[in-house]
Structure 1
Amino acid sequence: MYTQCPDCRTVFSLDASVLAHARGAVICGNCETLFDALDTLAEQLPPEPFRLLPGHTRSEEAPKLEVAIYRPREDVPVAVAEAPAAPAFTPGFVQDRRAARKLPRRWPWVVTCLSLALLLAAQVAWAKRDVLISDPTIGAWLRQACISLGCRLPLVRDVHRLHLVARDVQAHPSVPGALMISATVRNDAPFTQPYPVVSLTLSDADGHRLAMRRLHPSEYLDDAAVLRAGLAPGASAALLIEVADPGNRAVAFEFGFE
């Protein structure tokens, strides 16, 4: 069989397998044009010289084939002809077990994913524990949950909610050349705070700094149990600090919390 490219007019030889491969769509090997080989399909070439192969018009109705040259025989299988196979009987519980084995076991993956998600949430919560405990709503839930479970939340520091409600400075009653400074600090946060680092600054009348000292909680509190418990919400603590007397030049002192 033969067909012709509609662009470059090149005639090609082809067989039924090529036509069936893409239902007549072929590519010209000369000009790379995609065309339908069925439009100019011919069993024989016309006498030379010729320019175009005759074209075919498409019919709306499919032609009916009348001349049959071969029909394969439908052979009956020997096993079916001699003795039909008896229907197999499988007990119901065996079928249920087979069906159960075919079902994919997804629960291990579900449990693993949930465990990883809970672990990730716990890590994020621990990294953001100060923010969560300081939050008025979430912190209240956490404290209530800890009370029910018998656990204890870590102490969170927020020095902006520590307020100095009283302070006094006087000569040390038993140590010459020393001062005794007392102060009362109150925790206005809704959660327990660790005792802060106290910074004490002594200044002269012109505001010039004469001395400064930073005291850690263990330096002004001797009770280890009180230090571990922290400063409860709304509670106040009295601080006693002993410092060397810088002389008559020190007329002002200032407290700070870190």
Structure 2
Amino acid sequence: MYTQCPECLSVFSVDARTIAQAHGFVMCGHCGAGFDCIATLADQLPPEPFNELPSHEPGVEPPSVELVVYRPQPETQQVVVANETATRENFADLVITPRFARDRRKNKPRRWPWISACFLLFLGLLGQLGWALRDTLVADPTMGPLLQQACATLNCTLPPVRDVGKLRLLARDVQTHPTVPNALLISASVRNDAAFTQPWPFVTIRLSDANGKVIAMRRLNPSEYLDDVDALRRGIGPGATSALIFEVEDPGHQAVAFDLGFE
């Protein structure tokens, strides 16, 4: 059989084995061009002189082969059943995850940053609420001791809570000052009935005449009647009793009564 290069028009002799190996596509040994040798395949050369071999147009439908030389026999039913059983056993333990399930797990958003942020915001809100209600919490008979224990463990100091209604005046006395002329010496015994430590109160002393008219008054802050700095800082503990001494100017013989008030 013969074929012709469409570039240099060289004619070559080919055999069926070469055509089958190359699937019909060969290289020209003269110009190196690649071409489809089946397009100009011919059993005989045309009479000389000739320039080109006739080209074969591709058919619309491939030719059909009818002459059967050999047909392999189908395998027995036992082999098919054995193969099916082995296949079922091999795939019995496989776990197949649907694609939509894999995609859902892959694209699942991470929620722990939002949960952590919400938890921190909640703690901040609790801290602000506790600070706003600190006086009520410290004064509470249940929460107050717990907060004091926690603060003692953490080595911190609770804010002082003032409740002058829990300060009870147990005894009082007034006399002429023994060393300072024209002065009075007033003593009082005070007990803290609250379940928490209170700061030292502001003390108001009123002197009145026989008709109950106030003729002299003085308001003393804690630093004016307490010289102990540590006691001033600690305050009055729950259930503690303390003796207070006040020095005031003597308004004269008109003062026949006095009273103490706490603020």
What is the TM-score normalised by the length of structure 2? Answer: 0.59
The equivalent residue for 2:108 is 103
Amino acid at match of 1:222: D
- Give 1:141 shift: 2.2
Unpaired runs of 5+ in structure 1? Answer: 1-96
Q: How big is each residue's C-alpha offset from its partner over 1:225-249, in whole Å with a ceiling of 9 and x where there is no partner? A: 1111110011111111111100111
- Give 1:193 shift: 0.3
SS at match of 1:144: helix
Instruction: Give the one of 138, 141, 148 matched to 1:133.
Output: 138
Instruction: Give the one of 144, 148, 153 matched to 2:149.
Output: 144
Structure number with larger C-alpha Rg: 2
Instruction: Give the one of 146, 153, 158 matched to 2:158.
Output: 153
Query: What aligned pairs does 1:212-231 form with structure 2 within 5 A after superposition?
Result: 212-231=217-236
- Alignment of 1:193 with 2:198, yes or no, is yes
Query: What aligned pairs does 1:88-99 form with structure 2 within 5 A after superposition?
Result: none
Q: How big is each residue's C-alpha offset from its partner over 1:67-125, in whole Å with a ceiling of 9 and x where there is no partner? A: xxxxxxxxxxxxxxxxxxxxxxxxxxxxxx98875221111111111111110111111
- Give 1:155 shift: 1.3
Amino acid at match of 2:232: L
Alpha-carbon distance in 1 for matches of 2:105, 2:210: 90
SS at match of 2:232: helix
Query: What aligned pairs does 1:109-124 form with structure 2 within 5 A after superposition?
Result: 109-124=114-129
- Alignment of 1:245 with 2:218, yes or no, is no
Unpaired runs of 5+ in structure 2? Answer: 1-101
SS at match of 1:157: coil
Query: What root-mean-square deviation, in Å, do the aligned CA atoms of Structure 1 and Structure 2 show?
Result: 2.0
How many percent identity over aligned positions? 60
The equivalent residue for 2:183 is 178
Alpha-carbon distance in 1 for matches of 2:163, 2:177: 32
Alpha-carbon distance in 1 for matches of 2:113, 2:200: 47
Amino acid at match of 1:160: G
SS at match of 2:165: helix
- Give 1:139 shift: 1.5
Amino acid at match of 1:166: A
Amino acid at match of 2:193: D
Classify 1:100/1:224 alpha carbon distance in 2 versus 1 (closer, same or farther; 3 Å): farther
Query: What aligned pairs does 1:25-40 form with structure 2 within 5 A after superposition?
Result: none
Q: How big is each residue's C-alpha offset from its partner over 1:155-179, in whole Å with a ceiling of 9 and x where there is no partner? A: 1100000011111111111111111
Q: How many residue pairs get matched?
A: 164
- Give 1:220 shift: 0.4
- Give 1:144 shift: 2.7
Amino acid at match of 2:182: G
The equivalent residue for 1:57 is none
Alpha-carbon distance in 1 for matches of 2:105, 2:230: 60
The equivalent residue for 1:94 is none
SS at match of 2:120: helix
